[in-house]
Amino acid sequence: MGVRDVWKGFGGKASEPVRVPDAEAIAAKVATIKVSDRDRLQMLDSFEQSDIAWFWATDAQNRLTYLSPAALAQFAVERDVIGEPIAKVFKTISEAQDHTETKPISYIVSSRSSFFEQTIQLLGEKTAEGGGKWWQLTGRPQFDDKREFIGYRGIAKDTTDSYEQQRQASRLVEFDSLTGLANRHRMKRRLDSSLNAYKIEKRSCALIMLDLDRFKQVNDSLGHPAGDELLRQVAARLQSIAPGGSEIGRMGGDEFQLIIPDMDDRGKLGEIGSRIIQMISQPYSVEGSRAIIGTSVGIAIAPYDGIEAHELVKAADLALYAAKGGGRGQFRFYSNDLKETAEDRREIEEDLRDAIQAGELEVHYQPQVQTGDHQLRGFEALVRWDHPEHGPIAPSIFIPIAEDSNLIEDLGAFVLNRACQDAVQWPGELVVAVNVSARQFLDEKLPQVVEKALEESGLNPSQLELEITETVFMGDMGTNDAMFASLKKLGVNLALDDFGTGFSSMSYLSKAPFDKIKIDQSFVRGCTDKNHSNHAIITAITSLGRALGMKTTAEGVEAMDELALVSELDVDLIQGFIFSRAVPQDQVLEKLKSGDFRYEAVGPAKHRSKRRMVYRRVGVVHEDHHYVAMLRDLSRTGAKIEGLLEVPVGTDLVLDLGEGQLVVGKVRRSQDATQGLEFETPLVSDGAGGLCTRHRVSPYMLASAGMPLQALPSGHHLAAVATKRLGGASTRPRFMQVELGVGSTRAG
């Protein structure tokens, strides 16, 4: 078949059956054509050779029978597409749906109807790796005199350039130009459409939100180009660990989202959150510098935490907010009580701003004593806040809030000034240690702030010790070196705080002009345990300190066995409750006025791990009856409850832990009103130091039982509601329930 046969298909006359004529037949045919027709054919030949468009044709079996020579040249040299089914030559592409295949070309031509400018991709075309060729096909079905279908005739044109431009324009609308991830617009559209579809299909969907901890510090110290490169590397790491089928988006700045369809197992989601935190926290190489950041992760799951997209986003955002407020570097699942926590946090931020301005904060001092004779060598200044309405607020709560709300510079300056003013009243050469946050350290005005505090108080610079955390090493070392030099020029001492818990490098430590290394209390805990590595870690740190000419201080010493061990390991100074808590200035002056600078060690013989106390009401379901009990103890594999009498060993109970968390347990011990249960399925970490169930009661199940479709409410009533709604014959209560708090009993 040649161009003339294709032309006949677009002419007014009926076409003959498709065939490939020989040269003599073509010559005979051409000889009979009129001059006007011959001119038309020459124009068609000229048009085809111009590459403005090409001709194509198929037979009745939709096999390709003709393709213009220039079009054939787009395929691999060794491949002859003539005679192949059209479905093996072209693949349809939908420009509106992310290049996913729509109705295949075989379906389109099987309808035997005309089609116009259908976008297709060539299969097996001759292009560079990763490239692609896109055409537009226009086709008309052809029929013989008996109205029998004999194939298609049509026109094709190469639209690769315009298609790529349109695709790029689409990417600019849908994707983040910096990282290549989906942008906020696309993620919102994807979440909306997914949740709308999942409501009908009764499917679940997890939303993970995260932002980067300390990214701003890297951006400020290394510059915005380095910050952009860091974001690209973060995006690549997220893509490497995201579950299949999920979509990752950059919402702007250092905020990211993951949408994970059909995922409601909080055990698996917790593992994903932990992997994200671990992966993001690994060091980065950015423009020749070493940068280390972290991340906090919030997780919400539809339909449990929200039915509509805006509900789920708000839930995940509250979970992220809680993860950051809990100390960063952790994940948190959404729960209903986070709404109240978020309101409290916002109130604390507003009140803290006022408290700093009004001078309502106090500075207390914890002694640092010499190991051998327990003689006082100095104090660490620790800020305290006694809220007029809420009472004492822990520094672990308000200091992270200060860092997030840009109040840390003002707070740090207040503590520095007050500490210098108080220390100048102490006799002798006692040192006062003041914490400097990483954000303060990056402020080029810090040396001037320190110098001003020294001048106004009259304190000798050698009596001031600035405690700097390891996070300063994540920035530009050139900037760090300049800051270290400026501070040392003032004559102050420098201590590396919380050594071993962060990101310090031995090479950096050897260069930085520290006078002291502080051993974090997490290494002191468990150091007396023979099976624990903390003993070896403390030994290594003290050896390192001696080799570098630095003193060492062990923080958080509370028990006599810990004191004995750190003393044996030649730690220079000790700080902890075993000698004293942080006390206000008047108590410091009273102690110093006595002239006795020695502290007596007072504490338990051995350290005991702090236990998480559980004391709350839970629902208990047995058969079709709902009881109330007190949860006394909770572990991954079991619980102890109190409140039911006459419960035999071996009884199966369902605990309602609240917010749709039902856990099946078997009674293994029962005495009076107390039962010990073993869980059928272990609990998992909730990211906040507590435990939760892997799965929860589905709102879809509750809706099928007659309840409105909504996110799970708070409380411990779902098991009772489910028991009643799901039917079943009513039976007599098997157990007696103790009236909690008054000791009387009644029928359950």
Do the beta carbons of residue 688 and residue 334 sit within 8 Å? no
Q: Per-residue pLDDT for 137 more than 70?
A: yes
**What is the mean pLDDT of the segment spanning 97-107?**
64
> In the prediction, which pLDDT does 684 show?
93
Do the beta carbons of residue 537 and residue 554 sit within 8 Å? no
The span from the CA of 271 to the CA of 679, in Å, is 21
The interaxial angle of helices 338-358 and 408-423, nearest 10 deg, is 50
Q: Which of 597, 546, 586 is nearest to 569 (CA)?
A: 546
Q: Which band of pLDDT confidence, cut at 50, 70 and 90, is reported for residue 120?
A: confident
Average pLDDT, the chain: 84
Digit-coded pLDDT (tens) for 514-567? 999 998 887 887 777 766 778 888 888 888 888 889 999 999 898 898 898 888
The span from the CA of 115 to the CA of 603, in Å, is 88
CA distances from 69 to 55, 73, 124, 530 (A): 9, 6, 17, 82
Residue 104: cis peptide before it, omega within 30 degrees of 0: no
> In the prediction, which pLDDT does 15 show?
43
Length of the chain: 748
> In the prediction, which pLDDT does 747 show?
36
Phi, then psi, of 206 in degrees rounded to 5:
-100, 145
Q: Which of 166, 182, 164 is nearest to 174 (CA)?
A: 182
- Please state which of the ranges 226-230, 403-407, 687-691 shows the lowest mean pLDDT: 403-407
> In the prediction, which pLDDT does 257 show?
97
The span from the CA of 123 to the CA of 89, in Å, is 5
Provide the sign of the torsion angle of the four alpha carbons 444, 446, 447, 448, taken in this order: positive
On whether the pTM is more than 0.85, the answer is no
Q: Where do the domains of the chain lie, and which CATH numbers do they carry?
A: 3-166 (3.30.450.20), 175-336 (3.30.70.270), 345-518+580-591 (3.20.20.450), 616-747 (2.40.10)
